[in-house]
Structure 1
């Protein structure tokens, strides 16, 4: 098994899977449709091009730094009538960091790695207003996606790590294996990105964890006996 690992970091990210009308929500972790769209853009695929090979990749993502949920208000003017359109609410994750993994054929993953290094179209993390803070330096590992996410170093900032405990569990959201009990079904499998005929299918996911020791922790261990005068 081979996996391509993609670090995702930006001042703002937004990964919607159920946005409707004037409310544009974001999930707490990247969606499969968002990552497939990013990979397709790196390769230079148009929205009307086939994406079945990308959608068939096994997907998993680890939350290394959850960030903060932010809400923005936006409006627009209809240039034809001069009237204001309804106020929209858009949600973002500020200062979040994720490690995404896609698992599949070696030749496809190698091509994706090269495309991410020299993308054809501009890349963004969920929305066009959310470019990555650095070039996406993806790398390949000869392991399954879940094995990689449980072993790859934690990529959170030093400031964030210092605020955490000496032992941390990083959340992982991954594709469920056949016959495995599922935790949630998400409608984020892209069937077509065609603007005139966008389609998404359902994906069964499982929640997992990656355990890490955190030597940078500055969190003090509480002394529960102190109020009683104990040592």
Structure 2
């Protein structure tokens, strides 16, 4: 019987970075693997420069995702001062970039995000994972570092409320949806509508009860935090189907 640590992500604004060149920063509709690993690592207190710990952590877990409703997509604009390229000159700090006013010009940066997005994330620990699910659950309840929804301007709108479930993956996710839907209904108002989940879920790896009908490749698997490099991974998706019996235990 498999075990899953499920937690909720909600905020008035959330941005899940896509590969970007230049001044435009797009957002995926789903949290990427790098974003989720970074969130869990921050909760546990793993520092960005601890390459050995990050490597072991990245290899130890898989994710299953459910998305609520249809969050609103939006774009905002920022003015950014950047120096024009100069031959035989490199700037190593922001102060050095701005030291010559004649080199500085202003560009418009475009940044996408989602408003009122709601996601359920299930964490699956692989053999040899450095932390048990109970340790991650405790860290998400009381994180070491502040957690964000992709950017520091996107704070959490609700507690993560991590819960443990067991059973086949499809039944565990359906049980998790029912649990969080009840919690949202108790909050009332606008939040009660967040529990209207999309029928599909997304995952990596193989999990009992999940049958894919579509496969895609996403380049969001961390390779090097220092060099900011990401590799490809296979993402499966399919419809959650309720079975005749449920073996999930919260």
TM-score, length-scaled by structure 2? 0.72
User: What residue number does 1:127 align with?
Assistant: 151
> Which of the numbers 174, 178, 189 marks the counterpart of 1:150?
174
Determine if contact 1:103/1:144 at 8 Å carries over to the other structure.
no
Q: Which of the pair is proportionally richer in helix?
A: 2
> Which of the numbers 165, 174, 177 marks the counterpart of 1:141?
165
User: What residue number does 1:55 align with?
Assistant: 58
User: What residue number does 2:99 align with?
Assistant: 80
Which whole-Å CA distance do the structure 1 matches of 2:173 and 2:56 have between them? Answer: 22
Shift of 1:199: 2.1
Per-residue CA shift, 1:107-163, capped at 9, x if unaligned? 5211111111111111001111111112221111123554422332164743467xx
When residues 72 and 185 of structure 1 are mapped into structure 2, their CA distance, relative to the original with a 3 A threshold, is same
When residues 108 and 53 of structure 1 are mapped into structure 2, their CA distance, relative to the original with a 3 A threshold, is farther
TM-score, length-scaled by structure 1? 0.78
User: What residue number does 2:5 align with?
Assistant: 4
Determine if contact 1:32/1:189 at 8 Å carries over to the other structure.
yes
RMSD in angstroms over aligned alpha carbons?
A: 2.6
Determine if contact 2:8/2:121 at 8 Å carries over to the other structure.
yes
Gaps of 5+ in 1: 213-231
When residues 85 and 176 of structure 1 are mapped into structure 2, their CA distance, relative to the original with a 3 A threshold, is farther
When residues 182 and 13 of structure 1 are mapped into structure 2, their CA distance, relative to the original with a 3 A threshold, is same
User: What residue number does 2:187 align with?
Assistant: none
Shift of 1:176: 4.1
> Which of the numbers 222, 227, 234 marks the counterpart of 1:190?
222
When residues 159 and 58 of structure 1 are mapped into structure 2, their CA distance, relative to the original with a 3 A threshold, is closer
Whether 1:104 aligns to 2:138 is no
Per-residue CA shift, 1:136-194, capped at 9, x if unaligned? 21111123554422332164743467xx7xxx75221111439x775100011112222
User: What residue number does 1:33 align with?
Assistant: 34
Which whole-Å CA distance do the structure 2 matches of 1:61 and 1:53 have between them? Answer: 22
What number of residue pairs does the alignment pair up? 204
When residues 126 and 136 of structure 1 are mapped into structure 2, their CA distance, relative to the original with a 3 A threshold, is same
Whether 1:90 aligns to 2:114 is no
Whether 1:13 aligns to 2:14 is yes
User: What residue number does 1:171 align with?
Assistant: 200
Determine if contact 2:81/2:107 at 8 Å carries over to the other structure.
no
